[in-house]
Structure 1
Amino acid sequence: MVGVLEIRNLQKNFDAAKVINDFSMSVIEGTLCCLVGPNGAGKTTTMDLITGRLKPTSGNIVFRGAAITGDSEHLIARRGLGRKFQIPSIFKELTVAQNLEVAFCQEVSALQNLFSFSRKQSDERMHAVANMVGLSERLAVIAGTLSHGETQWLEIGMVLMQDPALLLLDEPVAGMTEHEIAKTVEILNELKKTKTLIVVEHDMGFVREIADEVIVMHMGSLLARGTIQDIEKDERVRDVYLGTEDH
């Protein structure tokens, strides 16, 4: 089955160092794929290459049947690929609702935005997304006063305002409380009913709760892929990654 995202023989060199080395993966539409591996494995670099933040040395990236290899970030985003970084970037002085409204803007020009969508469209989308990320009761709250978990959910919501076909999340539960992690599990398991997601994560307990498929990277290459049960049984993964964790 052809994936919504296909990465073929990807390579990224920084001078003489091969950070990504002949890496290939595919993500099937409507699934949640977790990208895991030890520090320095190349996970975030792979995300940067997918979204156009970095340009590959060689290889191909195909999104929904179209080659996006080397395209600029804004062009890739317009194709329907959204990304949330590990450190949230929100407008702290605005309310939750205003943050979501700003994220709905589809034109660079403020004047163009006035005519690109109606207030009704904006409000409908905002309330739908706020419900998705559990912030329906927090729309009037100033974003800078949100808890860490709520801030992370707000940024996920801001990405969702653009209705991406593929959503990339970089360590979404880093620094969260157990309660916030549990709620994030609920949010992502609900999102994957309508979205395709790639999640970079170190918390294997969290991965166990959300992943349809797990891809393990090591030294810029594919080490293993499969269900969480397959990955936990793989001796190679235990040697280079899982075996270093205190279970």
Structure 2
Amino acid sequence: MSGLLEIQHLSKNFDTTKVINDFSMTVDEGTICCLLGPNGAGKTTTIDLITGRVKPTSGTILFANEDITGRDEHEIARAGVGRKFQVPAVLRDMTVRQNLEVAYSRQTNPFWNLFKFHRAGLKQKFDEVADLAGLTRRLDVIAGNLSHGETQWLEIGMVLMQEPRLMLMDEPIAGMTEGEIEKTARIFRDLRKTTTLIVVEHDMGFVRQIADVVTVMHMGSLLAQGTLSEIEANARVREVYLGEQEAA
């Protein structure tokens, strides 16, 4: 059985520097895969390659058995791949409701987006996303007045309005309070019912709460992949990622 996302022998060079080196991994549908590794391991570049932000030097990326290698960002987004960046890209002068409405459509004209939103059936989607993101009571608040955690949840909601089958998140809990992190973990566990997730994260406590599978990168290559308990028991991972060379 093939995975929803399959990366095969992916490499990326910037001039003479090899950032991704023959990297392969598979992500099954309906799972949360946490992508770990030291700074400079190539995690964000891998996300950039999946979403088309940068083009690979070699290798193949398959999404739902379709080759999306090297396609433009908008084509990959339309295929069902959504991305949440570390710094939220919300429209700060608009309300939460307006942000979600504009995000629904992939058209570039925001006035067309707002008109289209009121077509039959879209309100149900809006209500589902607002509830999932925990923003039902904040819909009329200007986005610029939200807390940091609420802003992060709003951008998650904006990506969900585009109905992605796969959602990529780069350090989604950076700067959050403990309570906000707990709520984000609950949101992610709910998201898993309908959306496959790849999460780049350093906070191991958060990873422990959400991960079905952990993929560890080192110097642009795959170091290990498995359950969290398997990764924690892996001597090579402890040596490279957790810095336990002497203990090993």
TM-score range, shorter chain: over 0.9
| Residue identity matched to 2:104 | F
Q: In the superposition, relative to structure 1, how do residues 132 and 23 fare at CA in structure 2: closer, same or farther (>3 Å)?
A: same
TM-score by length of 1: 0.95
Taking the TM superposition and a 5 Å limit, the aligned residue runs for 1:204-215 are 204-215=204-215
Contact 1:103/1:158 (CA < 8 Å) preserved in 2?
A: yes
Contact 2:101/2:114 (CA < 8 Å) preserved in 1?
A: no
1:169-214 CA distances to partner (integer Å, 9 max, x unpaired)? 1000011000000000100011101110000000011001000000
Taking the TM superposition and a 5 Å limit, the aligned residue runs for 1:232-247 are 232-243=232-243
| Range with bigger deviation, 131-140 or 47-56 | 131-140
What is the CA-CA distance between 1:114 and the residue it aligns to? 6.7
Structure 1 unaligned spans of 5+: none
Contact 1:106/1:116 (CA < 8 Å) preserved in 2?
A: no
Determine helix, strand or coil for the equivalent of 1:123.
Answer: helix
Determine helix, strand or coil for the equivalent of 1:3.
Answer: coil
What is the CA-CA distance between 1:119 and the residue it aligns to? 3.8
Q: Which residue matches 2:137?
A: 137
Quote the Cα distance in structure 1 between the aligned partners of 2:79 and 2:186: 27
Q: Which residue matches 2:16?
A: 16
Q: In the superposition, relative to structure 1, how do residues 104 and 23 fare at CA in structure 2: closer, same or farther (>3 Å)?
A: same
Taking the TM superposition and a 5 Å limit, the aligned residue runs for 1:79-158 are 79-109=79-109, 113=113, 116=116, 118-158=118-158
Structure 2 unaligned spans of 5+: none
What is the CA-CA distance between 1:127 and the residue it aligns to? 1.3
Q: Which residue matches 2:32?
A: 32
Contact 1:37/1:217 (CA < 8 Å) preserved in 2?
A: yes
What is the CA-CA distance between 1:10 and the residue it aligns to? 0.1
| Residue identity matched to 1:81 | V
1:60 aligns with 2:55: no
Contact 1:232/1:242 (CA < 8 Å) preserved in 2?
A: no
Q: In the superposition, relative to structure 1, how do residues 114 and 89 fare at CA in structure 2: closer, same or farther (>3 Å)?
A: closer
| Residue identity matched to 2:204 | M
Identity of aligned pairs, percent?
65
TM-score by length of 2: 0.95
| Residue identity matched to 1:197 | L
| Residue identity matched to 1:173 | I
Q: Which residue matches 2:195?
A: 195
What is the CA-CA distance between 1:126 and the residue it aligns to? 1.5
| Residue identity matched to 2:79 | R
